[in-house]
Amino acid sequence: MWEVKFSPDGRLLASASIDSTVLLWDKQGRVRQVLKHPIGVTTIEFSPDGRILASAGYDQFIRLWRVADGQLVKTLPGHDGTVWAVTFSPDGKTLASAGEDKLVKLWNLDSGALMRSFPGHRLNVWAVKFSPDGRQLASGSFDNDIRLWDMATGRLLRTLTGHTEAVLNIDFSADGQKLASASDDKTIRLWDLRTGQPLRTFRGDGECVYSLEFSPDNQQLVAAYRDQTAVGEIFQHFLGISATGKRVTVRIWDVATGSLLHTFAQHADDAYDVAYSPDGRWLASASSDATVDLWQLRP
């Protein structure tokens, strides 16, 4: 499993897999929809109203699906190469995508037309995210940099430098004042977007940090790692079965202090993605062990 996302109402989970499928699950572990790509799927995202799911992957195209019945409603031409990330604008009218062709692209969802391309990264663009107010777009790349773009003009506002390896994931805080970035350099960096300076660096015991996300209350960061540490447990509800005895961790960090709050260990292989439910009660993680695990954080 490559990515996992909660629907905005928290009732469904979507997972993307290199086996060419997107699965829509309920919290009881039942598969509600199976959406098929010709080859592997690398990225998924629900629209803000939860009616549309965007998916993309190795075949270069971006597909838009109706969540209610699993019907394909639109196909966008995508990128010259793999599409690594997609994200909806807060108003749901625009989709941003990031690709192997070193570009970030903006798409009009009504017409399906390409609105703008953002050149500038020197290698694959692996991550893209809108600010909460929709006025900025952030992108992270294998060139180790994070770029902030002005949505109105397409102008590059700032480049955040400091990671020494590829930037694999990014997320804005709910107030839009901070950005968190996950990297192959084994660190998470928290950035002050008013100054462009790093506020804090989170260092775990693992290898690369594949994914991260702010909690809905903005107080915590959850991150998915590649390592084999097992130092904590939490109530688990399995949507799959881990294949081996190894344990790969998901960690939760306190944003204000930088302290490690929890370490969860279950996956038997790399944990690629993590996602909070909208109410913050549940945490989902996706792994290359072919499972999605659902963790109950509180009743």
Confidence at residue 47, expressed as pLDDT on a 0 to 100 scale:
99
Residue ending a domain, among 38, 56, 76, is 76
Let me know if residue 188 belongs to a domain: yes
What is the domain range of residue 170?
87-202
What pLDDT was estimated at residue 34?
A: 96
Segment 133-146 shows an average pLDDT of 98
Query: Measured at the alpha carbon of residue 225, what is the angle toward residues 61 and 119, in degrees to the nearest 5?
Result: 40
Residues 197 and 238 in one domain: no
190-227 per-position pLDDT tens digit: 999 999 999 999 986 667 888 899 999 999 999 888 75
The total of structural domains in the chain comes to 3
- One-letter amino acid of 130: F
In a domain, 4, yes or no: yes
> Which pLDDT score is estimated for 270?
58
**Is pLDDT of 86 > 80?**
yes
Share of the chain above pLDDT 70, in %: 87
The reply to whether 219 and 163 lie within a common domain is no
Residues 189 and 211 in one domain: no
pLDDT-above-90 percentage for the chain:
71
Q: What is the pLDDT of residues 216-267, one digit of tens each?
A: 999 999 988 875 332 222 222 222 223 333 445 788 999 999 999 988 766 5
State pTM to two decimals: 0.88
Query: Does residue 251 belong to any structural domain of this protein?
Result: yes
Q: Does 50 have pLDDT greater than 70?
A: yes
pLDDT-based confidence at residue 28 (cuts at 50, 70, 90): confident
Q: Find the CATH number of the domain harbouring 26.
A: 2.40.10.480
What are the C-alpha distances in Å from 137 to residues 56, 171, 286?
19, 11, 25
In 3D, which of 288, 271, 291, 184 has the Cα closest to residue 228? Answer: 271
Model confidence over 63-76: pLDDT tens digits? 999 999 999 999 99
Alpha-carbon span 229 to 193, nearest angstrom: 33
Which of 167, 202, 237 lies at the terminal end of a domain, its last residue?
202
Q: For residue 102, which of 84, 77, 87 has the smallest C-alpha distance? A: 84
**Given this model, what pLDDT does residue 237 score?**
26
**Do 14 and 119 reside in the same domain of the chain?**
no
Task: Judge if 5 and 97 occupy the same domain.
Answer: no
CATH number at residue 141: 2.130.10.10
Q: Are 196 and 178 in contact (CB under 8 A)?
A: no
Instruction: Kindly state whether residues 105 and 154 are assigned to the same domain.
Output: yes
